[in-house]
Amino acid sequence: MAQEQADRLDIPKHLQYSEDHVWVDDSVEPAVIGITEYAAERMGDIVFVDLPQVDTHIEAGDELVQLESAKAVEPVISPVAGTVKYVNREAEDDAAIINDDPYGEGWLVKIELDDDMPELLSAEEYAAIITK
């Protein structure tokens, strides 16, 4: 069943992923961060997002955002270090866009990365993790 779920999920190849189901698009400046479709589906309908303040410095492994759904309150752990430059106010106003479009309008933050980029997973490596 996990394989079937992974096969139908969108896992864009141009993004990098963490084992915590967070995606990073570092092909743009500042880098964009959000949660994967897999994470959004596991949470259920997201009803609230608590975003960091702009200019907050985040270390890899820090809680970046907190998401709340009817099922749970979940922290989003940053896979990268850097300074938050933008937060998605639209997601703050209507958290459902995170479920509806996790790789587009449902992005969470844009972050100016520090020099040291941690090891992230390719789309193929991430798909292998969620099918275990």
pTM of the model: 0.92
pLDDT in tens, 7-33: 678 899 999 999 999 999 999 999 999
Number of domains in the chain: 1
Q: Is the bond into 30 cis (omega within 30 degrees of 0)?
A: yes
H/E segment holding residue 5: helix 2-8
Token pair belonging to 109: 């933050």
On the question of pLDDT at 1 being above 70, the answer is no
Token pair belonging to 119: 């090891």
Whichever domain contains 28, its CATH number is 2.40.50.100
pLDDT at position 132: 77
Residue range of the domain that includes 97: 1-131
